[in-house]
Structure 1
Amino acid sequence: MTESRLSPRLAAIAPSATLKVDNKAKALKAAGRPVISYAAGEPDFATPDHVVEAALEAVKDPKNHKYTANVGLPELRDAIAAKTRRDSGLDVPASRVLVTNGGKQAVFEAINAVVGEGDDVLLPTPAWTTYPEVVKFAGGNTVEVFADASQGYKVTPEQLEAAFTANTRAIIFVSPSNPTGAVYTEEETRAIGEWIESKGIWVIADEIYQNLTYDGERAISIVEATPTLDNKTILVNGVAKSYAMTGWRLGWLVAPADIVAGAANLQSHLTSNVNNIAQRAALAALTGPSEPIEEFRLAFDRRRKLIVEELGKVQGVNVPTPKGAFYVYADVTGLLGREHGGKRIDTSLELADYILDEAEVAAVPGEAFGPSGYLRFSYALSDEQIVEGMRRLQQLFND
């Protein structure tokens, strides 16, 4: 076997499983195959007009053609602090905000700010593919705590206690969840927050989907449910999902002052300041009219109900109804251990490949997020595509 020419840290990082599936689907589409992809976590809406207009104006202003503060534009940091007060219940000054190049950079910097060599990080799973890779890069160890469909994909303090060790340094808490769409109730969030506080560990709370909830649910921030955690909490967020701005690459973290200073120092060597045009656009998104954002949420809600109904018609599939984000996480164990198309399929990875080859439908297998036995379907695509893709699955698996 040829020795890797990469450094050990880079060689250890696995590629993003979600992007891998999406790239395969796009390649098949480019080859003329009528693939319907449920793989990407990306809204299909255009960015709101007032945000685009703000960016166009910003391009014309020469001050945006120069370097600006590494930590972010002052007015954008003010707007992020205001959003954090409003949506996360945490009253913070703008000095505790660091603007980043997308939510992924915020996750990278947050984990690297508090996790060191040999530290354990608790990760409730199913969970987004990037978290374990960043923990590994920081020198830490991911300790997965799994909750299945019978638990609504939500872990309990008892499960966290069983996974806790003397080396536990932090926990990553995500509500609403990618990939499951699970939303912890206020009581559940408080119980976990109180457990975290009793252990004195850090919590990195990814709130990127906090404004995408349904059925009257509200995503309660861990620091709103347990305010005394403020000094050991890093909030991660951004404009990508709720505002249909994935390509603008604008995120942020909110943290205690020393953590912001350390993360800003790291960012100064990584990328320096975030693109000024994107910052001006994000400012317009956070301070402008909310009607377009609510239209997106209502469309997602309609699609959520549609995909749950249609996917529920596929024999052997169990579909818990998600309360947030724009994913359904289907339990497909009823389809495994059986022959499909003359071949025995035992894992959701094999099942996803079979579905893509035979039905030209792309979904992300559970192995990307935790144990096998599940498929993630994004419903951030048109109603017509949702119905057609589900029809193909019904034809493929129903007697």
Structure 2
Amino acid sequence: MKSSRQIEQAYRWARERYAEVGVDTEAALATLSGLRVSLHCWQGDDVRGFEGGADAPGGGLAVTGAYPGRARTPDELRQDAEKAFALIPGRHRFNLHAIYGEFGGRKVERNEIGVEHFRGWIDWARRLGIGLDFNPTCFGHRLAADGFTLSHPDRSVRRYWIEHCQRCREIGAAMGRALGTPTVTNVWIPDGMKDTPADRRGPRERLLESLDEVFRKPIPARYNLDAVEGKLFGIGAESYTVGMHEFYLGYAVTRRKLLCLDAGHYHPTESLADKISSVLCYVPGILLHVSRGVRWDSDHVVIVNDDLLAIAQELVRGRYLDRTHLGLDFFDASINRVAAWVIGARSLLRALLFALLEPWPRYQELERAGDYTGRLAWMEEAKNLPFGAVWDYHCLRSGVPVGAAWLEEVRAYEREVLSRRG
């Protein structure tokens, strides 16, 4: 393992090398340090939540694996999240679903939840100095068993889910007010059909009407930001997804909402990176759910691959970071769940740093001059710049383990904490 002195020496050389091509590493690190990634609660317990009852989330979601140590209580989940935060450079956020409230062992209907069920989470976030994000949970419920919620043909069922989403917005606003940073409250529903529908129009018109009712009450943006999330398909909704990308794009544009782009929610040949500059011509901002699709699964642990690098490069080159809310969205119960958080978050931050350290203004200057040869040459030569030395220094300066040293801390946590959960 490199010593602190070796890491600092390597960084000084890297800083000089980057300066030769017009890149200020300190400016890049300052930008990276200001970014907040929202870690998702559902990786820590396999999307079970704390309502009690069913072991599986349902609603088109499926978590595979049975790695020991799943969080079983809010306190255990908070403990695991704190361990992950301690291994990720920077100060970040935490993203909750509505089923993660503290209900005191009582059955609380989802259209009756309130901020009182999340006081423990607010107090925890205040102690850590972090923000919270929030999501209605429109799956894993008797009134979602037939695959429809906000677009349900039964008006009383729609009313139940409308009220649930309205309460979630109020909870999100209370979180934002208490923590001094706006909560992003994101609406995703599993509505759709397994086989070819005879009526595609009706559910979408009902969804439109329901969403307008959900968002009817104005909430100040300094407390809560509304987002809507589409999807290509889900388990049980392979042939028809009511809230597909085009539906929510139109909704976000006309209603001035954040559009949630999930990296696993498109056809494998589609580029999410290419969508960013298109949708940001029309919507005020985006919520980016960073995931990794593998064939039909949309939620593998994030790694630094071409897709992730393309997303990071688009955010940096388009100067979109200040209009983007970053969050992780995956669930894997086949590996250590704390490690999954750390791998995913560090991968996203590494990709963003790589993009920040590219001499991308030079690329754009060459492009404007019509010098595509020079543009391609510089894009390739930049791949040999000493990015790793800057990342190691960032981890050192942030007080988190450098390289794979974090893995030993997770192993120790597994022995001392996770393995005792039964």
Is TM more than 0.5 here?
no
Give TM-score, length-normalised by structure 1.
0.30
Give TM-score, length-normalised by structure 2.
0.28
